[in-house]
Chain A
Amino acid sequence: MFPLKELKRSALIALWFAFLTFPIMVIKVDPIERTVEWRWDNMFFIALGSFVISILSKVYLIRKERRAGRKKGNRSITEPFMQRILREPRFLYPLSLAVLVFALSFPYLFSTYQTNIMTTALMYVVLGLGLNIVVGVAGLLDLGYVAFYAVGAYSYALLNMHFNMGFWAVLPIGGLFAAFLGILLGFPVLRLRGDYLAIVTLGFGEIIRLILENWNDFSQGPSGIANIARPGFFGMDMSFAGGITYIYYLVVGLVIVTIFVVNRLQNSRLGRAWLALREDEIACQAMGIDKTKTKLVAFSLGAFWAGLVGVIFAAKTTFVNPASFTFLESAIILSIVVLGGMGSIVGVIFGALILILMPEYLRALSEYRMLAFGGILVVMMVFRPEGLISNVRRSYQFKKQSSGQASDRS
């Protein structure tokens, strides 16, 4: 079944990777002790691994080709299983009710530690959904998203420290600060083409982090700000565990609000304008959509959510420092959006839960977490650019009278 030629090709690929990784994987020098360690076993594993992967990918490609050949006869595109469930209210309502009940009873079913982790994961859900507006829906690649998150966190930390302002007062302020900053940055920058935008936002994110790190009088530098007040609830005194449960419910509430808002937005006039803008800017302008304004709204709205989550983050950890807001954080949020499926709400939720919870439960593999992140981004883009759960767009379907067969949907 498997041609010999392919085996030979895979062997060559294995040899190539053995060569490629030779200096970095095999040799390890200690410049102070002046000793060299030769790790030949690594070379063996690399060669074996690349051999197996190359064969598997070849098998996958052959299978795919065969399937494509078989499909040529009747070209009816069936909707993915997940998508069908999500579209049918009969399944969707009970399903979301079940998820909601599970989410609400979570702190009673599991320990405080688990609740805490879940809170973090849900915060990333909100961050992912916020970035999804910018990247997934409007198609603006924002690599400095974490800057807005930092703005939210620091606005709570600083306002709490200097003016003793409470959580609930700062929550909208933090969000609005971030949104304002988004407008401020977006106004000059959004004229740029996609990839320039990516770099400018990346630079901006780094600028914010470096300022927080170096401007000691303002932000207390790398040591950060500690002892930030936890959120209160009508002046009630809460135990440590109670506080965690409280924040958990707070975040669940925020997730629900976010899902509601994003969902309503997606089918609104604005949401459709974003989608159109993502697909073709020029056609969009010809249709009379104000390009800059539409982009700006997407940008600042995304920033607003990041600001909100930032405030909650500061309240949850009671400590902020610039190390929490590196480019890596932006990359993680971006991979949540990409992995889940750009533009799809359910996809982003799954993406966040997988990417944040997986490393928590696989502590032993946490070293390899970032390696896997990078790898997943590449593999996803190459094999499944639409993400785990692709967003099936609303499209006009027309049936041919003669055959009665549903024809192409674009």
Chain B
Amino acid sequence: MDYFIELFFGGLTRGSIYALIALGYTMVYGIIGLINFAHGEIYMIGAFTSFIVATVLSIYGFPVLAIVVIAGLAAAVWSASYGFTIEKLAYRPLRKAPRLAPLISAIGMSIFLQNYVLLAQTSDFLPFPALIPEFAFMEPVAHIVGSSDLVILVTTALVMIGLTFLIKFTKIGKAMRATAQDKTMAVLVGINVDRVISATFIIGSALAAIGGLLIASHIGQINFYIGFIAGIKAFTAAVLGGIGSIPGAVLGSLVLGLTESFATGYVSSDYEDVFAFSLLVLILIFKPSGLLGKAETKKV
């Protein structure tokens, strides 16, 4: 039973991280209908930025709490800047182009960013400092649920609540929903669509950066390639839940995280990624609109 609970919480933790990345995919897809292939790389850059900042600060002897806060902020700020710049450079000029063009541009951006980090930093795995302390009150259950699992779950939950609030009640959230429904109509009622799209990229990237910081400190190592697999998995999760739907992305991520956790725990860890991809293929074949997504009707 302990093993089951351990796997369950492992799956939840994994799923929460996927959710933080998947939200970026789903928001961008909901608004401009583009699979932002470079999103995984944004997450990777977030992890790298927080790694660099945290290591520099710890070398200069800052206290742990300050390191966590500053590294988190730096990761969010720089990732958001990257997201904003990428959208401006690689996607905005292609907004009226045929569907394939921005997708190929996104793939190019993803390859570019991977190699940019590879060349500017290193291709080795880097040890990430353990930023999350072991809490004393978690002692009795520590063999099943670690402190970092708890921190990840709580952070993700808080971020989700914040995001829901932002989208439901603020002006920019309203503008986002309007743009997602109908871009032309949104322009007609006076919404600055360009600004809304930029905001979407900024928010999505910042979320991915938080995910990057959390997972890097949970797993303890990073390299330039982590974004690719994480990105694909998070995209799988977004599709699983129904791309374009925010609760769907969270649900899909948790389902994917649990599936992976149980599959690796009870079947074999060699095929971890195969399970994720097979799940994606199956979902797309049998229910392309995802768990919570709306079926798309096409009018001529």
What is A's interface to B at a CB cutoff of 8 Å? 16, 19-25, 27-29, 31-32, 34-36, 42, 135, 139, 141, 143, 188-189, 191-196, 198-200, 202-204, 206-207, 210-211, 214, 282, 327-328, 331, 334-335, 338, 367-368, 370-371, 373-378, 380-382, 385
Contacts and interface: CB of A to CB of B under 8 A. Distances in A.
A282 B300 contact: yes
Contacts of A370: 111, 114-115
Q: Is the interface of B mostly helix, strand, loop or mixed?
A: helix
A165 B59 CA distance: 62
Q: Which of A282, A331, A377 has the most CB of B within 10 A?
A: A377
Q: Which of A139, A207, A368 has the most CB of B within 10 A?
A: A207
Interface of B: 34-35, 45, 48-49, 51-53, 55-56, 59, 74, 78, 81-82, 85, 89-90, 93-94, 97-105, 107-117, 119-121, 126-127, 129, 228, 232, 235-236, 239, 270-271, 273-274, 277-278, 280-281, 284-285, 288, 298, 300
B111 A204 contact: no
A24 B232 contact: no
Contacts of A28: 120-121
B108 A381 contact: yes
Given A199-B280, A200-B284, A382-B90, A27 B104 contact: no
A24 B115 contact: no
Contact of B280 (A143, A200, A282, A375): A200
29 contacts: A24-B120, A24-B121, A29-B52, A29-B59, A31-B55, A31-B126, A31-B127, A36-B56, A141-B100, A189-B284, A192-B284, A195-B35, A198-B35, A198-B103, A199-B235, A199-B284, A203-B277, A203-B280, A204-B277, A206-B232, A207-B281, A282-B298, A371-B112, A374-B109, A374-B112, A374-B113, A375-B108, A380-B108, A381-B101
A117 B53 CA distance: 44
Contact of A214 (B55, B236, B270): B270
A282 B300 CA distance: 8
Nearest to A338: B104
A139 to B, nearest CB: 7
Contacts of A198: 35, 103
Given A141-B103, A192-B284, A371-B119, A381 B278 contact: no
Nearest to A368: B119
A171 B176 CA distance: 54
B100 A29 contact: no
A378 B281 contact: no
Nearest to B109: A378
A208 to B, nearest CB: 10
B298 A24 contact: no
Contacts of A29: 51-52, 55-56, 59
B223 to A, nearest CB: 13
A23 B298 CA distance: 45
A27 B100 CA distance: 37
B123 to A, nearest CB: 10
B272 to A, nearest CB: 9
A376 B281 contact: no
A208 B46 CA distance: 30
A41 to B, nearest CB: 13
